[in-house]
Amino acid sequence: MTLATLSDVLQPALRGGYAVGGLVTLGWEDMRAYTEAAQALGAPLILQAGPSCREHTPLPVLGHMFRHLAASVDVPVVAHLDHGYTYQECKIALESGFTSLMYDGSRKPLTQNIDETAAIAEMARDAGISCEGEIGFVGYANGDNSTGTDPDEAARFARDSGVDAMAISCGNVHLQEDKQGGLDVARIKAIEAVTDLPLVIHGGSGVPVAQRMQLAAESRICKFNIGTELRMAFGQALRAAVTADATRFDRVQILRETADPVKAAAMRVLTAFGAPDLRT
């Protein structure tokens, strides 16, 4: 069993000058491909169940799936709730075997965000697992605009919330399909100056790979969430499998053909973060 907490993988990353991929899952096919990619590289992995994943599959089922996959490899695997929006949702995830809870209060006033996140962090700490919080709102491509993280607010959030990792907004955008943008390095450095916490980038698919590599090696950013570019790889493989033979109808046969392309895409993502080979 290589099930790990978020702190178990981020603290070594912080000391070692690398980052860990928080790979966003939607179903069995992609989460299995991600786990196989991590095993092939010897890299740590964070399997993430976000809101759209939870709409499709209940948290207790996802907890069993993540733990089963963690037991199948000998690299650290974190079972992570991504963007939990209520205390109850986080509590269900904990009871379902998740080892890391991300509470998203980023749209709320600072004091409310801190207080609500602190309650989740206390619950997680009492259970021996980890908590990630978010300060500053990360927007969405073709949707709500971002609100950059204020360093002074980040210092207060880091001090008072009790989180093990802090997600920040510094030019990153959810659901971005291209890599034409880049993160605000000056803002990142200002935040680094006021906290010792590992930092997290949501919307990592839109960050140029070269900048991911540099920040993983040279900053306190220890976790990049990657979803869109992996979903694109899955979608392209699925489309090819469906259109290759119009007479096929067996979903198992069709979905099987997504495995290798998604694994290859995940390996490219994880390789860029620079983790050493952790296989035991």
Instruction: Give 152-169 pLDDT, tens digit per residue.
Output: 999 999 999 999 999 999
Distance of alpha carbon 211 from alpha carbon 114, whole angstroms: 30
Q: Which residue has the higher pLDDT, 279 or 180?
A: 279
Tell me what percent of the residues of the chain surpass a pLDDT of 70: 94
Cβ distance 66 to 49 under 8 Å? yes
Three-point CA angle 190, 196, 200, nearest 5°? 75
Q: Is the pLDDT of residue 1 over 60?
A: no
The predicted structure's pLDDT at residue 67: 98
Paired sense of beta strands 199-201 and 165-168, if any: parallel
Give this prediction's pTM. Answer: 0.95
Rounded CA separation 156/114 (Å): 8
* Token code pair at residue 90: 């986080």
The separation between CA 176 and the C-alpha centre of its own chain, rounded to angstroms, equals: 15
109-123 average pLDDT score: 98
Distance CA 44, CA 269 (A): 12
Match 């973060």 to its residue by tokens: 273
The CB density around residue 104, as the number of other CB atoms within 10 Å, is 25
Contact 10, 240 (CB under 8 A): no
Q: Predicted confidence band at 121 (pLDDT cuts at 50, 70, 90)?
A: very high
pLDDT at 4: 98
Confidence label for 172 from pLDDT (cuts 50, 70 and 90): confident
User: Are the beta carbons of 66 and 44 closer than 8 angstroms?
Assistant: no
- pLDDT digit string, tens, across residues 217-275: 999 999 999 999 999 999 999 999 999 888 888 999 999 999 999 999 999 999 999 99
Mean pLDDT within 70-87:
97
Q: Looking at residue 235, what is its pLDDT?
A: 96
The SS3 of residue 221 is strand
- Mean pLDDT calculated for residue range 107-111: 95
Residue with tokens 């291209």: 178
**Averaged pLDDT of the chain:** 93
The span from the first CA to the last CA of the chain, in angstroms, equals: 12
Under CATH, domain 3-272 is a member of which superfamily?
Answer: Aldolase class I (3.20.20.70)
Please report which confidence band the pLDDT of residue 279 belongs to, taking 50, 70 and 90 as the band edges. confident
The pLDDT of residue 141: 61
Higher pLDDT among residues 219 and 1, named by residue = 219
> How much is the pLDDT for 169?
92
